[in-house]
Amino acid sequence: MAGGTDPKSQFYGAGADMLSVFKGQTLPYAELLPEHKNLLRTEALREVYDCCNGVCLCLWFKDECEWTRVWASVLMLAPYLVCVQYILETSVYPREHEQLRALREATLQHPAALSSVPPEEGQFLSQFLKVLNAKKTIEVGVFTGYSLLTTALALPEDGKVTAIDFDKSAYEIGLPFIQKAGVEHKINYIESEALPFVDELSKEESEQGSYDFAFVDADKLNYGEYHERLLKLVRVGGVIAYDNTLWFGSVTPQDPDSTALKDPTRNFLVKFNAFLAGDPRVEITQVSIGDGVTLCRRIS
């Protein structure tokens, strides 16, 4: 990383043609992302907007050991983020399960809190699972378990979700909330690298075509590999959901000199999104919620 300042703890404003600390100011990361920490939320936006007067901002995030610079215009984001805050306060927070809320608040203390599914996306997934009448699901990438708890709460009493993640320490943060919610019996947690496990699972005839829903939220550069294997595991009419397919908006066309073009995850997701759009085995819809969710309904 260029420079000597740790971007984990700082939020930098930058001019359109230079990367520098705006007016010599540095603002604590936690201060700009209170409460629900996911990209920019309205409370943070107001502070940044007042400080930077609507100029371009550079946000630093750590994902899969890579520092990624994400450029965002406060002026462009403002209407969207105001709407997100309205949705949260009107429709999401009043109906958020008490253990989901408690887990979300506990997750904020984790240095990788941005990895958690935001609550509005969680509510969307919960509703979707119920409409789908899902009973057997699989989740790749668990972190502290917000989406996992969301899924377990949405499934019927005899439903099951197989959840795979190599980092059990993060899952153990969420486990007490899962237990308090009374849904631990619905969860089969597998501590493992996900791709080898899913690969072996997809070879078992008894498992093929038996899943109603799959949620993939880890190991972005292997989304294509998961896709081929999950198409064997998810039934015809079932759905595979891929998270973060907008990658903070950086998948949109970029100027040739844009730093976003140096991000391998962004570049892969551009190709993966195009691949899904042309895959005749699925029907898709890409939803602009959270950091983008693509739903793939298996049709063959």
Reply yes or no on whether the pLDDT at 77 is more than 60. Answer: no
Please, how many CA atoms are within 13 Å of residue 50, restricted to the half-sphere of its CB? 7
Share of the chain above pLDDT 90, in %: 62
Give the pLDDT confidence score for residue 71 in this predicted structure.
Answer: 34
The angle subtended at Cα 81 by Cα 64 and Cα 7, nearest 5°, is 35
Give the pLDDT confidence score for residue 164 in this predicted structure.
Answer: 98
Our measurement of the distance from residue 255's CA atom to the centroid of its chain's CA atoms, rounded to an integer in Å, reads: 26
Q: Which neighbouring-strand residues pair with 67?
A: 62
Reply yes or no on whether the pLDDT at 54 is more than 60. Answer: no
CB 296 within 8 A of CB 284: yes
Reply yes or no on whether the pLDDT at 123 is more than 90. Answer: yes
Q: Give the pLDDT mean for 213-217.
A: 98
Q: Where are the domains of the chain?
A: 7-92, 97-298
The CATH code of the domain at 97-298 is 3.40.50.150
Q: How confident is the model at residue 250 (pLDDT cuts 50, 70, 90)?
A: confident
Reply yes or no on whether the pLDDT at 275 is more than 60. Answer: yes
pTM confidence score: 0.78
How many C-beta atoms surround the C-beta of residue 74 within 10 A? 21
Q: How confident is the model at residue 62 (pLDDT cuts 50, 70, 90)?
A: very low
C-alpha 11/C-alpha 21 separation (Å) is 8
Q: Give the pLDDT mean for 48-56.
A: 37
C-alpha 150/C-alpha 111 separation (Å) is 22
C-alpha 281/C-alpha 285 separation (Å) is 14
Reply yes or no on whether the pLDDT at 42 is more than 70. Answer: no
Q: Give the pLDDT mean for 13-18.
A: 26
Nearest-Å Rg of the Cα atoms of the chain is 19
Amino acid at 183: V
Name the 3-class secondary structure at 249.
helix
